[in-house]
Amino acid sequence: MKDLKLKCVSWQLSENQKDHESEGLSSKHLVVRRGRPFKITLFFKDEPFSPLMDSLVFSAQLGELYVQFPLTFSRHVSAFKWGGQILSENSWSQSLRVLIFTPPNAPLGLYNLQLHIKSQAQQHSYALGNLILLFNPWCSTDEVHLSHADQREEYVKNDSGILFMGTPDNLLPRTWEFGQYEEGILETCLKILDMSPQHSKNSQKDNLCRSNAVYLSRVVCAMINCEDDRGVLKGNWSGDFSRGVSPSQWTGSADILKCWERSQCRPVLYGQCWVFAAVMCTVMRALGIPSRVVTNFNSAHDTNANLIIEEFYSETGEKLQLSKESIWNYHVWLECWMSRPDIGSEFSGWQVLDPTPQEKSGGIFCCGPCPVKAIREKRVDLFYDVPFVYAEVNASVYTAIVKNNQVVHQSLDANRVGSLVCTKGVNSYLAQDLTAYYKNPHKTPRRNSSLHAGRFKNSTKEARSMSVSLQLDKVPVAGQSISFSVTVVNNCGTSRRLKEHINAQMKEYSHNLLETFWEASNMIKLGPYEALTIEHWIDPSQYEQVLRDDGLVNLAVVIKDEVTLERKLASEEFNITMPWISIQVEDESNIVVNKAHSAILVFHNPFWVPIDGVLTVCGSGLIQGKVQSKVYQLQPGEKREQAVNFIPQMPGTKVLQASLEFKDSPLVLRGFKSVLVRAT
């Protein structure tokens, strides 16, 4: 009596993972993308397969979900459901080449594939092993389909990127290793899903819902922070990072995800907005959802939904923290590409997702997916969190000078918030301007400004009588003087006796202000309709000791008429640029896999005092882990060179990055170099 038994199975890993654009994502499992068939070969023991006497049925299991499908010779297997097709021309064979179809809306996850053989009176079942099924932006019927090949390369496969910080007029690019190809990262991303409250509450329902990118993105968004669950990162904006790692010291996602997994899912200390967004970008790219990190400059946090952020200054130009609302110099979030059948296909495309825990959405700390198109059109009736994100890019700024708790000057600026929204360009390290996708210049926001309406009625005449502006002469560079000018214009026909107060404060990007480090006062006389420009300089010795990593400064001038007591304010927030570490790769045009190469790092001390520090070099796919060396007594103005060796592990465009962290200081010198690695 015929008894067909399975000997072994070949997963044809190399062919499948090349065909599914999943090379390098896992060394433990076959990784395929839904909506595209994959091949395996079955090898039988003593007897060959007979289509007349043997029947083969596969089963694919995800948790408690279970689907069975027969193996047939039919060439009409549906592409929208699980199915199996025999490819072997010789049906009487001890090996069969098989094509397995997965639907483009199948749930994502780690599947167990089994084979059931029925041969006359005998039946056998075999566990073939596990495979990981991902979203498929290459598939036209997948809800995350992205039609442009260069965008798929950038937003799904690229394992390194640029995060933009600083100010709109002086962008500071910071490299980040997304690291989705690092060993074990894909499995850790799946574990994040399994640790979610949704999975713990009802694993079967959660597994079924993982077919939907909107649902999945909200689960991941909430799990990147740890406020409601056993999430990945703990946020900290206090300035005290003694119990963990300062957010500015992270250079990539893999270290964070590995630390979370090794610690049995305890939150990693610490993250801030760009860390939260970059780690989520890694998870989403690993799972197959196109993603990019986006920076919104002058990002508003509107707590009372009136689209007005209040800021207050003293008479001497010192910025005061009197409001619960805030404007961050920059805020970093994520955009993910997906269709939105839940709210209408016209809102498909890029969606804002923000894992930084600011406000709750549906009772948990997450934000989005919020359609970028809905933000531009102010469709605050749509899911998810459109009003909050709309305010982040469209709120107005009410600024007041206060004396003895009384407002003595006020102004309203409708253009400052959301002044630039940008991301890394495709195949470029330059910023791509996304502002026009968020802000509609033809639609004026309706603002609940009744709180300030009475005050502004009497300020029009005052605003016209004198004007004040503040202008930086050049982009400030560490170790050099900050030079700027104040221009005062008398718009009336009488002479004026004015007092100038100028104040400079270091600040953190999240609006927290530090103490004043420089101030000046001057008396000014202006004739009728006269204009005067006053030059100022701040010596580097006056800011070096208080300079922060971002180098952000709030500079403000208040001009007061000594007779009429009229006051005018002008302010500017800017960043002091740190010098770059130069990286020169030897024989740059001949970098190949598994061959030793070297690079020379060049850096110098821009300050007036000697510095010590630690030089760190890393690069996903170029260096295993990190290479660190101590730097001792780098004298003022001294330049040094440091050699580093690396052995590329995989082909493609990789990024070598370096950072020099100063001892007993928050300052860091950074640099990066793009390296093209060839297979041979």
Share of the chain above pLDDT 70, in %: 96
Q: What is the mean pLDDT of residues 572-599?
A: 95
**Euclidean distance between CA atoms 20 and 33, whole angstroms:** 6
CA distances from 199 to 177, 216, 223, 261 (A): 29, 11, 12, 17
Instruction: State pTM to two decimals.
Output: 0.94
Q: What is the mean pLDDT of residues 645-652?
A: 92
Q: In this structure, which CATH number among 3.30.2420.10, 2.120.10.80, 2.60.40.10, 1.10.260.40 belongs to the domain 459-575?
A: 2.60.40.10
pLDDT at site 444: 54
149-435 and 459-575, same CATH topology:
no
pLDDT at site 283: 98
Lowest mean pLDDT among 76-90, 275-289, 429-443, 452-466: 452-466
Mean of pLDDT over the chain: 93
Place of tokens 């910023």: 431
Tell which wins on pLDDT, 53 or 2.
53
**Residue 143 pLDDT exceeds 50:** yes
Q: What is the mean pLDDT of residues 461-477?
A: 86
Architecture of domain 149-435: Alpha-Beta Complex (3.90)
443 — pLDDT class (breaks 50, 70, 90): low
Tell which wins on pLDDT, 608 or 657.
657
If you classify domain 582-677 with CATH, what class do you get?
A: mainly beta
204 — pLDDT class (breaks 50, 70, 90): very high
Domain spans of the chain, in order of start: 6-134, 149-435, 459-575, 582-677
pLDDT at site 457: 46
453 — pLDDT class (breaks 50, 70, 90): very low
CA distances from 43 to 6, 8, 52, 58, 95 (A): 6, 5, 18, 15, 4
Q: What is the mean pLDDT of residues 126-152?
A: 98
Nearest CA among 43, 76, 88, 40 for reference residue 60: 40
**Euclidean distance between CA atoms 538 and 540, whole angstroms:** 7
445 — pLDDT class (breaks 50, 70, 90): low
pLDDT at site 127: 97
Q: What is the mean pLDDT of residues 49-55?
A: 90
579 — pLDDT class (breaks 50, 70, 90): very high
**Residue 33 pLDDT exceeds 80:** yes
pLDDT at site 628: 93
pLDDT at site 89: 66
Q: Name every residue whose Cβ is closer than 8 Å to that of residue 330 and which is 6 or more positions away in sequence.
A: 164, 165, 166, 167, 295, 296, 297, 298, 299, 509
Q: What is the mean pLDDT of residues 516-532?
A: 96
Catalytic residues: 273, 331, 354
Q: Name every residue whose Cβ is closer than 8 Å to that of residue 200 and which is 6 or more positions away in sequence.
A: none
Instruction: List alpha helices for 131-174, DSSP H.
Output: 149-152
451 — pLDDT class (breaks 50, 70, 90): very low
pLDDT at site 609: 85
The number of residues making up the chain comes to 680
Q: What is the mean pLDDT of residues 41-67?
A: 94
**Residue 607 pLDDT exceeds 90:** no
pLDDT at site 650: 87
Could you please report the per-residue DSSP string of 67-123? EEEEEE--S---TTS-EEEE--S-SSBSEEEEEEE--TTPPPEEEEEEEEEEETTEE
**Residue 250 pLDDT exceeds 70:** yes
- DSSP at 255: H
Architecture of domain 6-134: Sandwich (2.60)
pLDDT at site 460: 46
**Residue 657 pLDDT exceeds 70:** yes
Q: What is the mean pLDDT of residues 442-467?
A: 56
- Asked whether the CA dihedral 321, 322, 328, 333 is positive or negative, the reply is positive
